[in-house]
Amino acid sequence: MTQAIPHAGGRLRNFIGGAFRDSEHTFANINPVDGSEINRVCRASRSDVDGAVDAARQALQGDWGTMSAAQRAVVLHRVADGIEARFDEFVAAEMADTGKSLQQASSIDIPRGAANFRIFADLQKSRATECFHTATDDGRGALNYAVDKPLGVVAVIAPWNLPLLLLTWKLAPAMAAGNAVIAKPSEETPATATLLAEVMRDAGVPAGAFNLVHGFGPGCTGEWITSHSGVDAITFTGESKTGSAIMRAAADGVKPISFELGGKNAALIFADCDFDAAVEGTARSVFTNGGQVCLCTERVYVERKIFPQFVAALKQKAEALNIGWPQDADTDMGPLISHKHRDKVLSFFSSARADGAEVITGGDIPKFNDTRDSGAFVQPTIFTGLPETADIVRKEVFGPVCHIAPFDSEEEAIQLANNTDYGLAATVWTDNLQRAHRVAGVMDVGIAWVNTWYLRDLRTPFGGVKLSGIGREGGAHSLSFYSEPMNICIKL
């Protein structure tokens, strides 16, 4: 990977009304591989947020608001083309901000960022509306049909774990449906969103249809957006407790919200599974992106008769992971997003030990004897032996760690998997067809995988139950959230 980090040593600016804007206050954008500063980020002021809302409103009254879905689709395909044309820059920026591996950034994050625009542009173009012929007493009837209108100005608030992928997962359907958007990436990962603003400008997206404001959450940019009277709807991905705060901010304006929140996902491994596939898939589901994917498994339950062999095999996989420089082709895992997040993950490790956990592997900081020792790395970690009440079994850690425990019956496995405040995803490993359907169907989650993990079809409903979210996005579900159906009734 020879691509220089875009904007390194410079400033990442806000993008409002079609133009980049500097600001008085900046904050540091840190590379978690070695703790170095990559660039300065312009923190949006309250008046920048007001400016973004005004620009979005004007776009809805102007060129963007008068475009057909087909015309918007042409523009959004140009945005996807623009991401692909600057693919290496996007990959370099995402790796520098997050420390994720080249392999992951170039095969998942950035391709999905471009794909989101294509998929939702095309879906919206071919979207049907309802139409009914309604009987009337005079025999002439009435035509009742629905038209979908944009919600207006949509705030898109994104997390740091899959920065471009998750931002565009919401921006693309919101824009395809005709809304004007205000995007706020995580303060930890401002770079690819800034590149995206350049792509939007160069693709001819009308001024104000896409606005970008940088900054923090509480008492800052995030809160100013979500409590702004000129914002019509909020779509958010992040922690469950942030979701509660945003919900309170949205309550005043009775704004529609769509929330994709935290998870504490279980994997159930039955003795009748394909053992090697289950070990491989579970290792992937625990350690991908350093465990920093909302869908990652943090609780592994294994049928007792294969428990010792499974623990040994998962340990071997964890210890074989190559932790290191993101740009090396054979790197499996980079650092965590920040030192602050590493402190949080390490405090879970300490509490697990204090609760009496047995450490199967890891539990510490790796030693490199180079600049990576200033980075935010932790070892892939497996604990066992804790009661279900232990913090590390109940709370989302969001790191490369799982707790593994045995079960004796299908009923017990189901009870353990569902005994959580979260409800995002579950994974079931079995070669028994009836059991696969039976167990997957009673998982109290938004998505259950059988004999695979993270196999996504973007047309399917995506979201969580309980603390894991509100609403569904994906395919037609996204377009339905980002538009308001209106009924028109014509007496014939």
CA 57 – CA 208 distance, rounded (Å): 8
Select the span of 1-9, 195-203, 219-227, 372-380 touching ligand NAD (CB under 6 A).
Answer: 219-227
User: Known catalytic residue: 298?
Assistant: no
C-beta separation of 345 from 391 below 8 A: no
Question: 10 Å Cβ neighbour count for 456?
Answer: 12
User: Letter for the amino acid at 469?
Assistant: G
Q: How far is the CB of 125 from ligand NAD (least distance, A)?
A: 26
CA 170 – CA 233 distance, rounded (Å): 12
Active-site residue, selected from the candidate residues 89, 94, 223, 260: 260
By CB under 6 A, residue 223 contacts ligand NAD: yes
DSSP helix/strand/coil, 381: strand
Select the span of 171-179, 241-249, 304-312, 450-458 touching ligand NAD (CB under 6 A).
Answer: 241-249
How many residues touch ligand NAD (CB under 6 A)? 32
Select the span of 232-240, 268-276, 300-308, 426-434 touching ligand NAD (CB under 6 A).
Answer: 232-240
C-beta separation of 391 from 351 below 8 A: yes
CA distances to 157, 170, 235, 461 from 473, in Å: 15, 8, 10, 6
Q: DSSP letters along 114-142, please?
A: HHHHHHHHHHHHT----EEEE--TTS--E
Binding mask 176-215 for ligand NAD (x = CB under 6 A): --------x-xx----------------------------
By CB under 6 A, residue 474 contacts ligand NAD: no
Q: How far is the CB of 335 from ligand NAD (least distance, A)?
A: 15
Q: How far is the CB of 348 from ligand NAD (least distance, A)?
A: 13
User: Known catalytic residue: 187?
Assistant: no
What is the token pair recorded at 32? 């978690």
CA 480 – CA 254 distance, rounded (Å): 18
As a three-state string, the secondary structure of 163-232 is HHHHHHHHHHHHHHCCCEEEEECCCCCCHHHHHHHHHHHHCCCCCCCEEECCCCCCCCHHHHHHCCCCCC
Binding mask 294-313 for ligand NAD (x = CB under 6 A): x-------------------
CA 336 – CA 376 distance, rounded (Å): 5
By CB under 6 A, residue 261 contacts ligand NAD: yes
What is the token pair recorded at 280? 């491989």
By CB under 6 A, residue 239 contacts ligand NAD: yes
By CB under 6 A, residue 291 contacts ligand NAD: no
By CB under 6 A, residue 222 contacts ligand NAD: yes
Q: How far is the CB of 216 from ligand NAD (least distance, A)?
A: 5
Please say which residue, 304 or 456, places its beta carbon nearer to ligand NAD. 456
| Among 12, 60, 105, 166, interactor with ligand NAD by CB under 6 A | 166
By CB under 6 A, residue 157 contacts ligand NAD: yes
By CB under 6 A, residue 111 contacts ligand NAD: no
Site for ligand NAD in 401-420 (CB under 6 A): none
By CB under 6 A, residue 469 contacts ligand NAD: yes
C-beta separation of 215 from 221 below 8 A: yes
Known catalytic residues are 260, 294
Binding site for ligand NAD (CB under 6 A): 157-161, 166, 184, 186-187, 216-218, 222-223, 226, 237-239, 242, 245-246, 260-263, 294, 396, 398, 424, 464, 468-469
